[in-house]
Amino acid sequence: MKCAEKLEPLIALLKENLLAQEVLFADETTLTVLNDERKKSYIWLYGCGPDRGGDAQSPGIVLFDYQGESRGHHCPASYLSDYDGYLHVDGYEAYEKTNAKLVGCWAHARRKFVEAEQSQPKGKQVKGGKIQSAINWFQKLYRIEQGIKGKTQEERYQQRQSQTEPLLKAFKTWLDKSVSQVPPKSKLGVAINYSLNQWSKLTRVVEDGRLSIDNNRAERSVRPFTVGRNNWLFSNTHNGARASAVLYSLIETAKANDCEPYEYLEYLFRELPKLKSGDVHRHLLPWHMPRSE
């Protein structure tokens, strides 16, 4: 934990760089803290940039935040402060309290319809029924995304305007018609209402070619923490949970910038003792780390 405290100025600098980006992603996951009256606490994840290949111009940053609180509405708003750029999120309403322009996740929306399909008794699935019709819409949407993969930001924007936007308008008409035709508490009813409730966020993807169709980048980033949690199970104290958040932040950010995590941590622990109080840690950012030949 003492080590994590020494690394806090670097985390603050990474956060400063994060909030300077125009497109972010966020997610959250549970954590058990033994010395806490609550059964569950939450770790929040915020990030930007690519999974790999980040650099000073387009840094890959993955930061885990533990505030010692429940999955409360104030946590994202507190962390993001005045940030008003794009933020990819799931459907959790806590993000509504931020100033960010929220971008919904089409993978989450599709998952609801897949769950509706899987809930049907075997042999009772209706070919050409409403569930299959909905899944067909998603297939068309993702086919467009596959076609613009690797294209420039402007090309992605133009093709979403010409192809995706008309498709979404047609899908919205289908949703509006279907919502009154199925029981609202059925799996299909839940799926339809989820898409309608998230519609303004889901359709934001057509606004900017830098945006992603889903929030899978965040889910991939949070996975190492969830896998680790399954092994070490819990944190003993709030300080221990914060220390875990610091170390996972540095490891995942190193990976996003093509730094081998062990080498990056070794570099940090070698350089940190050389710093005086108040020194800027900018040269310790992973994209500035000297690389071995």
pLDDT, tens digit (0-9, with 9 covering 90-100), for 81-138? 999 999 999 988 999 999 999 999 999 999 999 999 998 877 666 555 899 999 999 9
Per-residue pLDDT averaged across 170-178, rounded? Answer: 98
pLDDT of 172 above 60: yes
pLDDT at 278: 67
Q: Is 222 within 8 Å of 216 (Cβ atoms)?
A: no
The token pair at 44 is 């929040």
pLDDT of 237 above 70: no
Q: Choose the weakest-confidence range: 46-55, 130-139, 163-172, 252-261.
A: 46-55
pLDDT of 186 above 60: yes
Distance between CA 88 and CA 218 in Å, rounded?
8
Query: Helices 106-118 & 130-147, crossing angle to 10 degrees?
Result: 150
The token pair at 151 is 């294209």
Helices assigned H by DSSP within the chain: 2-19, 74-80, 106-118, 130-147, 153-159, 165-178, 187-197, 199-202, 216-232, 238-256, 261-271
239/140: higher pLDDT = 140
pLDDT at 126: 55
Please give the backbone phi and psi of residue 101, each rounded to the nearest 5 degrees, phi first: -90, 105
pLDDT of 33 above 70: no
115-125 exposure pattern, b = at least 16 Cβ within 10 A, e = fewer: ebbeeeeeeee
Mean pLDDT of the residues in the chain: 88
pLDDT of 30 above 60: yes
The token pair at 260 is 């081998």
Residues 6+ positions from 93 with CB-CB distance below 8 Å: 73
Q: Where are the domains of the chain?
A: 2-102+215-288, 106-205
pLDDT of 233 above 60: no
The residue length of the chain stands at 293
The token pair at 167 is 């498709």
Count of other CB atoms within 10 angstroms of residue 248: 21
Query: Helices 261-271 & 2-19, crossing angle to 10 degrees?
Result: 110
104/232: higher pLDDT = 104
The token pair at 238 is 């709030």
pLDDT at 39: 59
Q: Quick one: DSSP state of residue 97?
A: G
pTM of the model: 0.90
pLDDT at 153: 94
pLDDT, tens digit, 9 for 90 and up, residues 132-143: 999 999 999 999
pLDDT at 284: 93
